[in-house]
């Protein structure tokens, strides 16, 4: 059984999406090191992190932190992934 690619306009493959996120925050010479982390992190994000992140997400972050990746860069990748997956609702115009 073969799978057909989505024909939805604007639908992006997760690989392209992850490359875009990593490229936005990681210096060029380090991007290949952070791609496996971004893939694993993305795979664990099945729901918004409320009230806390799932154990699987925490284990992925811990694993890559121990392997020497920058906690700051991992934070920025996670922040961008979550921001795109679960955008904050905007207040209606005129309400302050």
pLDDT at residue number 24 = 96
pLDDT at residue number 35 = 97
pLDDT at residue number 50 = 80
Residue 10 clears pLDDT 50, i.e. is over it:
no
Q: Which of 17-21, 30-34, 70-74, 87-91 has the lowest mean pLDDT?
A: 87-91
pLDDT at residue number 51 = 84
Question: Mean pLDDT, to the nearest integer, of 37-42?
Answer: 96
> How far apart, in Å, are the Cα atoms of 14 and each of 27, 39, 43, 61, 85?
20, 9, 10, 19, 11
């Amino acid at each position: 059984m073969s799978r057909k690619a989505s024909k939805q306009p604007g639908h992006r493959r997760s690989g392209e999406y992850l490359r875009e996120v990593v490229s936005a925050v990681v210096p060029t010479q380090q991007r290949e090191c952070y791609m496996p982390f971004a893939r694993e992190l993305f795979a664990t994000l099945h729901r918004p992190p409320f009230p806390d992140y799932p154990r699987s997400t925490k284990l992925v972050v811990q694993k890559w932190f121990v392997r020497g990746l920058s906690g700051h860069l991992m934070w920025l990748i996670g922040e961008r992934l979550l921001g795109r997956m679960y955008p904050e609702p905007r207040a209606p115009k005129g309400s302050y």
